[in-house]
Every structure is written in C-alpha cells, then in structure tokens.
Amino acid sequence: MISKDNVLEVRNLQTSFSTDKGEVRAVDGVSFDVPKGKTIGIVGESGSGKSITSLSILRLLAENGKIKGGEIRYKGEDLTKVSEKRMRELRGNEISMIFQEPMTSLNPVYTVGQQISEALISHQGMNKKQAMVRSVELLKLVGIPSPEKRVKAYPFELSGGMRQRVMIAMSLACDPEILIADEPTTALDVTIQAQILELIKDLQERLGMSVIFITHDLGVVAETCDYVAVMYAGQVVEYSDIRTLFKQPKHPYSIGLLNSLPRHDIDQEKLMPIKGNVPSPHEMPTGCRFAPRCPAATDLCRAKMPELMTDDSGNQIRCWIYSDEWPGEKEVNVYGETRIAKG
C-alpha cells in the first residue's frame, strides 16, 4: 500500500477449525490495512470469513479454532504471537468490538450501568462510584435520553436500537484505538440504522479512532467506509479505496456483486446474478476460488490460485486478469463490462 499511518496491518491471515469432517480453512489469505482514524469495510457473503477475521484479530476464536499462519501487526506487535495476558490488556482497552445481536452480548441479569461499570473497573481501575458516573456520561455520549434513569435499566427494557447504543457505549468505555463493528446494524430497522451509523461516524470524528466495519450491505459500506476489503470464500479478493470499488471494481466477483444488487435509488432492467453458489469449505476449488462461477475463467484460473497483488495505485487484487501471466484476451468481458488485462 501507499505508505499510510496504519494502526493495524493484517498479512495473509490463515485461521482454521478442526471439525469431524476435517479441517475447515475459514480464513485463508486475508490481508488489509487499517489506517489511523479511518474506517475500513469488510464485505462478503455469508460464510466468507468476515467474523472469523475479526475474532482472529482479538483472538476470541472458539475452542476448535486456531490461527495457522500470517501476521496481525498492531503498533509493532504481532498479535498472533503475544501472550494471552497481553491480549487481555489489549481487548477492551485498545481494540474493542461490537456484535450483530446486542441481546446476546449483553447480560440479561445486570443493569446497563453495572455492565458498563464492569469494564471501567477492571480495565481502568476506577472505583464503583466513579464508574457509575462515567457510565452515565457514556450513555449520554451515545445519545440515550435520560441516561441517569436508563443506567438502571435491564437490557430487555430497551429497544433494539437502544441496546445497540449501550453496546457502543460499552465498547467505548476505554477509549479504544480500534473499534471492530460486526454487522452492528443488520438486526435494526433502516430508520434506526441511520441513527446508529450517524452515531458511529460522529464518535469516530470526535475520538479519532479507527473502525473496522463488517457488513454485507454495500450501501452501508459506500456511506461509512474509506477503504474496503471484499472477501470471497475465506480470502480477500480486492482491497481498495471505496471510490475505486464502486466506480471501477476490478475483481470479477466485485463486479458481479454490484451488478446483482437491487437498488432503491435508480431504475434497473433485469438483475445480473452471479451463477452458482459459494463453494463449500470442505470442497474448495484448487485454483482461483471464484473460477467455478467466474464468466472470465481460464485454464490457468482453474489450475492455480492467484496471489493478492498490489497495483500502481496501491490497491490490491487477487485475479489473474491483472497479472503478466493472463492467458486470455486483452479485453476481458466481465458481466457486460470490459476490463483491460495486464499481460
């Protein structure tokens, strides 16, 4: 990448699960940068490895999961190698996370105030009283009306949008450098989603943190992110600034994804779907993982997996079309759009 001030650099991350059907390589070649103060999006279809990528960063994988390779560089430290003790310090203090369904990550038997205080007491050494005062401040920061009253509420007494605000308040408790938001608005209605997106943007500007925003909604990406990593079958297939991704996407999968999207803001004729299905994690194609569905696939694609290559503008792409080895035509037709091959 063009040199930026990156707080986090993920390089060729590989995470596997052992299951009774054999090894599942859930993440198998994920690289991206998180520049300071910026928002990067991770998009991809269900099962493409978005959540496992973020859980790997925090080392919160399930028992049967393991980071098998690659690096996660955070301010000079490789998070794949640091001790569990160091990881505990980082979680919550420097890198925090919010999840898709706030109800499952809030404890139903404690009040909102008790839960936020918990984090403040254990990570910042506050006493109970200080922590309660700070909790009220945080609830106010995330736009919860009458925070003095709500701090005593139990999660079930709050609406979905409010619970998500509480989750955000908790994740901000320790002023993190990086906030990982995994589908934070997917379970919410659009008018509530608009409130939460506005809140995250506003907080980011005020607090100067970097955000990793995981979503399958390309609209949300276009509106909130500066950079975006597109994932397919456990790999990053394209990483670029968002203008390039939406105006001149390079990877056939990215092009196909944008062409399949029904838009509410413009009239479209027929949608152009990507044919077929995502490969099962147990039967990954040997070559390019998109080859069985790709309209431009060649024998080379089917035989050999392309590496993630950096282009002149600093964007990254995993596709043979943009390499010297491309065996096909110079002008490649991808879902009705033309891309110029490098070879």
Partner 1 sequence: MAKQELLKVEGLKQYFPIKGGFLGRTVNHVKAVDDISFTIYEGETVSIVGESGCGKSTTGRSILRLEEPTEGKVEFQGVDLATISKRQMRDYRKDLQIIFQDPYASINPRQTVASVLNEAMEIQNVLPANKRRARIEELLETVGLLPYQADRFPHEFSGGQRQRIGIARALSVDPKLIICDEAVSALDVSIQAQVLNLLEDLQEQYNLTYLFISHDLGVVRHISDRIIVMYLGKIVEIADKHSLFENPQHPYTKALLSAIPVPDPDKKKERIVLKGDVPSPIDPPAGCRFHTRCPFATDKCRTEEPKLRTSDLMKEGHEAACHYMEEISAGAMQPNY
Ligand X SMILES: Nc1ncnc2c1ncn2[C@@H]1O[C@H](COP(=O)(O)OP(=O)(O)OP(=O)(O)O)[C@@H](O)[C@H]1O
Whole-angstrom Cα distance, residue 128 to residue 174? 15
Task: Note the residues at the interface with partner 1 (CB under 8 A).
Answer: 45-46, 159, 161-162, 189-195, 197-198, 216-224, 242-243, 246-247, 256-265, 267-268, 270-275, 277-278
Least distance in Å: CB of 254 to ligand X?
16
Site string for Mg ion, 239-278 (x = CB under 5 A): ----------------------------------------
Least distance in Å: CB of 240 to partner 1?
12
Task: Kindly tell me which residue out of 16, 48, 51, 210 binds Mg ion, with binding defined by CB under 5 A.
Answer: 51
**If contact means CB under 5 to 8 A according to the sort of partner, which of ligand X, Mg ion, partner 1, none does residue 258 touch?**
partner 1
Whole-angstrom Cα distance, residue 140 to residue 121? 19
Chain residue at closest Cβ approach to Mg ion? 51
**Beta bridge partners of residue 67, listed in sequence order:** 15
Task: Quote the crossing angle between the two packed helices 112-124 and 84-93, to the nearest 10°.
Answer: 130
Least distance in Å: CB of 84 to partner 1?
35
**If contact means CB under 5 to 8 A according to the sort of partner, which of ligand X, partner 1, Mg ion, none does residue 267 touch?**
partner 1
Quick one: 48 or 80, whose CB is closer to partner 1?
48
Least distance in Å: CB of 334 to ligand SF4?
8
Task: Kindly tell me which residue out of 301, 315, 316, 339 binds ligand SF4, with binding defined by CB under 6 A.
Answer: 301
- Residue 235's nearest CA partner among 279, 199, 269, 273 is 279
Answer for the pair 323, 332: CB distance below 8 angstroms, yes or no. Answer: no
- Subset of residues 225 to 264 that bind ligand SF4, contact rule: CB under 6 A: 251-252
Least distance in Å: CB of 13 to partner 1?
22
Task: Note the residues at the interface with ligand X (CB under 6 A).
Answer: 17, 19, 24, 26, 44, 46-52, 62, 64-65, 216, 281
Instruction: Return the range that interacts with ligand SF4 (CB under 6 A); candidates 42-50, 62-70, 80-88, 292-300.
Output: 292-300
Quick one: 90 or 291, whose CB is closer to ligand SF4?
291
**If contact means CB under 5 to 8 A according to the sort of partner, which of ligand SF4, Mg ion, ligand X, none does residue 46 touch?**
ligand X
Rg of the chain's alpha carbons, rounded to an integer? Answer: 21
Placement of tokens 């006493």 in the chain: 127
Which residue intervals of 218-320 are DSSP H helices? 218-224, 242-247, 252-260, 299-303
Tell whether residue 54 is a contact of Mg ion (CB under 5 A). Answer: no
**If contact means CB under 5 to 8 A according to the sort of partner, which of ligand X, ligand SF4, partner 1, none does residue 65 touch?**
ligand X
DSSP string computed for 221-241: HHHH-SEEEEEETTEEEEEEE
Most distant CA pair in the chain, distance? 70
Least distance in Å: CB of 260 to ligand SF4?
16
5-29: b (≥16 Cβ within 10 Å) or e: ebbbbbbbbbbbbeeeeeebbbbbb
Quick one: 121 or 257, whose CB is closer to partner 1?
257
Quick one: 51 or 244, whose CB is closer to Mg ion?
51
324-335: b (≥16 Cβ within 10 Å) or e: eebebeeebebb
DSSP string computed for 143-192: T-SSHHHHTT--GGGS-HHHHHHHHHHHHHTT--SEEEEESTTTTS-HHH
The phi and psi torsions of 339 (rounded to 5 degrees) equal -125, 140
What is the binding site for Mg ion (CB under 5 A)? 51
